Amino acid sequence: MYLKTYGRGIFRIAAAFAAAAFAALMIFYAEKGREGAAQGIELCLKTLVPSLFPFMAAVNLLINTGICAFAGKLLDKPSRFLFGLGGSFAPVFLLSLTGGYPVGAAGIRSLYSHGELSMNEAKRAALFSVGAGPGFLISFVGLGLYSNARTGVYLLAAQSLAAVLLGIGSRFLYRGEFDISPKEIKSAPMPFSRAVTESVYSASGAMAAMCGFVIVFCSATAVLNGTVKNGFIRDALTLTLEVCGGVSALSGRLGLDAAAFAVGFGGICVHFQIFSALGEVKVNKALFFVFRILQGLLTALFTRITATLSPVPEQVFSTQSRVRGTVYGGSVFSGAMLAAVAVCFLISLKNFNKT
pTM given for the model: 0.76
What CA–CA distance (Å, rounded) separates 335 from 169?
31
Q: What is the pLDDT of residues 92-129, one digit of tens each?
A: 998 888 887 888 998 899 889 888 888 989 999 999 99
Task: Compute the mean pLDDT over every residue in the chain, rounded to the nearest whole number.
Answer: 78
Question: Where do the structural domains in the chain lie, given as residue ranges?
Answer: 33-175+188-354
When computed from its CA atoms, the radius of gyration of the chain, rounded to whole angstroms, is 21
- Give long-range contacts, CB 8 A cutoff, 24+ apart: 246-251: 247/140, 247/141, 247/145, 248/145, 251/141, 251/145, 251/146, 251/316, 251/317
Reported as a pLDDT band with limits 50, 70 and 90, residue 249 is low
Whether the per-residue pLDDT at 67 is higher than 60: the answer is: yes
Neighbours of 280 (CB within 10 A): 9
Q: Computed from CA positions of residues 150, 154, 157, 163, in that sequence, does the dihedral angle turn out positive or negative?
A: negative
Q: What is the pLDDT of residues 255-275, one digit of tens each?
A: 788 889 989 999 898 999 899
What CA–CA distance (Å, rounded) separates 167 from 161?
10
